[in-house]
Each structure stands twice: as C-alpha cells, then as structure tokens.
C-alpha cells in the first residue's frame, strides 16, 4: 500500500505516518489542513480495518490522456465546469479556468440556452429553456458551437475540453427522452470529432442506455468516453455503485465516474470504500464524488482513495453542490500527493 502521499505531508521526520502531530512541528500547517489530514487518515484506517485496501496514489493500468491532462496518474486532475448560458460566457469561464490553473474544462452543454428561446422569453435559466421539441441535430448544433468557442479559447494551452450534456434525470438541464439524448449525443460526437481541438472526451450517462454504441462512435471520432452516473438524492448501496462502475468499463468507457449525495459521514465512507475497491478492480480511471457539504472531503482527498478527477470552481457558479475553488483544491492535492 502506498502511503507516500500522507507521509510526505507530515512535517516531522520519524513520526508515525498515521498520526497528525499536534506539536510545534505542525505549526506551519493551518488548522483546516490538519483537519483534512486527520479526516483522511481516520477514514483510511477505518476502511483498512474493514478489509478494503486503500490504493494511495498508484498509477492506473489504462490512464486516459487528453492533451496535457492525464487521468489515472499519481495525482488527480482538476476540472472546472462551465455554467454559462451561451458560447461566449462559456469561453469566458474557460479562460478563468485556465488562469486559475485547472487541468481541463468541462463544457456543460446542457446549461446552454438556445438563443431564440432566450430572446423570446428573456429567460437565462438554461434548464427551463432548453427546448425539448428540438430535433437532435439542432441540439447538437447548439452544443457544437459552444465547444468550438471553448476549444478556441483554450488553444495553445494544452487544456482539453470534456463535453458533457447532463440530463434532467441526473440533475442537469437537458429534459429530453433517452432516444433524443442518444441521437443528439451521437450527432455531436461525430461533428466534434471532425473538429480537432473542440473536445477530447465526451460524457455519456450509463443509465440512458446504448453506452457501447456511443463508445464505438466516439472512438471512431477520436474521442474518449467518460461514462457517468449521478444520484442527487442519495448514495446507492455499495454493490450497486460497484456494479455501475464495472458496467461502464465493460461498455468500453475510458473513465468511469460516479457522483452521489451522502446523507452523512457513513455514506461518504461507503463511497470512498467503493472508489478504493473499484480502483483495485478496474483498469480504467475511476472518479468518485460525494456531492454537497457532507462530501467535500472527497473533492479534496478523493485521490487518496483512488479517484482520478475532481471538479472545482474558478470564479463562477459551481456545476454541482460542494465544489471548492481551484486554489483550495490544489492546496489539498499538494498536501496529500507531494
């Protein structure tokens, strides 16, 4: 088991690596950092007591490399998601993400507002204005235009774009049936794939079905698929969470991502336990996030338990509850993975 991350964060040589010292040697570590370390170490100890091997920061068998970002390497990547309602706002947020030092930008295309609808209604709330009656090709066209704008903003930075269209069923802004979702996603995959730089990877929801076909299409287009599953109400049982992550790998996804809502610390502990197990069982990078205040630790220390990616903010609204600013996340990563 690799304990280097934790050990490197200890200020005093020769101290027990499972304890955070209270003495003067830890004086340079602010209280909140010590609290993070303590929580991580407690959690780790409890998981190991229950027989779950905590991976530390091992490299993954099949890392996913998109431009200069590698998921599944020794340190988790930091993503910033756009929440803008149009392409220009998303490009602006991508610039802020780049300046803040994020590794990649997630374009949340489901939060875009169709310009005609916005003009007619004056409404900026994307989730209520994405027109369900649109043909898949029209939706894909809207998303592609934003992908182009964000891709152009990041040109030369080496930062990749992850194109995500989150459905209402999983807490996002696109309220369409599964057939429309799949058709629109397939269309944008093919069109984005033709435009080098517009996106390096695309998110596809496991529960919407047909994941193997979308993965094949994406591969043909030169894109990786990040398979995802979100629960904004609860934390499913461990068997179900592991099943979903395995199903994502079996469908050919390059990354398996799970975001859940914990009711309290017990759920957080279960989620990181599942992440650690999945990390040992799967070849592809695993992303495991507990959303909301109760799950903040997973956004800072998820990498210790095998999670390859964390989402942070760069001056704009969070795309999911519990996200922290990039700088705060970087500080934690430096502490835990140096």
Ligand X SMILES: O=C1C[C@@](O)(C(=O)O)C[C@@H](O)[C@@H]1O
Q: Which two tokens stand for residue 262?
A: 């914990």
249 is in an annotated binding site: no
- Among positions 211, 227, 291, 336, the unique one binding ligand X when judged by CB under 6 A: 291
Nearest to 181 by CA among 150, 151, 202, 160: 202
Query: 214-233 mask for ligand X (x: CB under 6 A)?
Result: --------------x-x---
How many CA atoms lie less than 13 Å away from 20 in the CB half-sphere? 21
Q: Which two tokens stand for residue 83?
A: 């929440």
321: Cβ contacts below 8 Å, ≥ 6 apart:
291, 292, 293
The interface with ligand X within residues 196-215 (CB under 6 A) comprises: 203
95: Cβ contacts below 8 Å, ≥ 6 apart:
153
- Among positions 282, 320, 326, 332, the unique one binding ligand X when judged by CB under 6 A: 320
Task: Say whether residue 245 binds ligand X (CB under 6 A).
Answer: no
Per annotation, catalytic residue among 124, 246, 257, 337: 257
The residue to which tokens 């287009």 are assigned? 221
Task: Say whether residue 257 binds ligand X (CB under 6 A).
Answer: yes
Q: How far is the CB of 323 from ligand X (least distance, A)?
A: 5
The residue to which tokens 């600013």 are assigned? 325
Q: Is residue 10 flagged as an active site residue?
A: no
With beta carbons less than 8 A apart as the criterion, state whether 84 and 312 touch.
Answer: no
Q: Is residue 337 flagged as an active site residue?
A: no
Q: Per CB under 6 A, which region of 15-23, 51-59, 60-68, 316-324 contacts ligand X?
A: 316-324
Nearest to 208 by CA among 250, 178, 168: 178
- Among positions 43, 107, 176, 289, the unique one binding ligand X when judged by CB under 6 A: 289
What residues make contact with ligand X under the rule CB under 6 A?
81, 106, 108, 164, 166, 203, 228, 230, 257, 259, 289, 291, 311, 319-320, 323
Residues comprising the binding site for 3-dehydroquinate? 106-108, 166, 299, 319, 323
Q: Which residues are catalytic?
A: 230, 257
């Amino acid at each position: 088991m690799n304990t280097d991350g934790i050990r490197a964060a200890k200020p005093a040589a020769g101290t027990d690596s499972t304890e955070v010292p209270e003495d003067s040697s830890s004086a340079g570590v602010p209280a909140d950092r010590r609290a993070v370390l303590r929580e991580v170490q407690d959690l780790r100890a409890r998981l190991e007591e229950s027989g779950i091997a905590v991976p530390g920061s091992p490299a993954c068998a099949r890392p996913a490399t998109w431009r200069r970002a590698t998921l599944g390497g020794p340190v988790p990547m930091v993503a910033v998601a756009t929440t803008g309602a149009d392409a220009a706002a998303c490009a602006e947020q991508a610039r802020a993400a780049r300046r803040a030092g994020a590794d990649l930008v997630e374009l949340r295309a489901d939060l875009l507002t169709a310009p005609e609808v916005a003009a007619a209604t004056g409404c900026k709330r994307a989730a209520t204005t994405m027109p369900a009656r649109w043909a898949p090709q029209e939706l894909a066209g809207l998303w592609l235009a934003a992908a182009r704008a964000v891709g152009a903003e990041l040109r030369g930075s080496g930062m990749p774009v992850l194109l995500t269209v989150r459905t209402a069923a999983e807490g996002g802004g696109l309220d369409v049936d599964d057939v429309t979702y799949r058709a629109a996603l397939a269309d944008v995959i093919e069109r984005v794939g033709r435009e080098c730089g517009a996106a390096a990877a695309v998110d596809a929801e496991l529960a919407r079905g047909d994941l193997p076909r979308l993965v094949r299409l994406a591969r043909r287009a030169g894109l990786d698929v990040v398979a995802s599953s979100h629960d904004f109400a609860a934390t499913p049982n461990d068997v179900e969470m592991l099943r979903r992550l395995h199903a994502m790998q079996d469908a050919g996804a390059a990354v398996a991502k799970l975001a859940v809502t914990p009711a309290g610390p017990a759920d957080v502990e279960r989620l990181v336990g599942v992440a650690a197990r999945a990390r040992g069982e799967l070849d592809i990078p695993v992303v495991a996030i507990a959303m909301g205040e109760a799950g903040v630790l997973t956004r800072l220390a998820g990498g210790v338990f095998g999670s390859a990616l964390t989402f942070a903010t760069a001056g704009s609204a969070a795309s999911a509850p519990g996200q922290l600013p990039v700088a705060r996340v970087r500080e934690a990563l430096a502490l835990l993975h140096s």
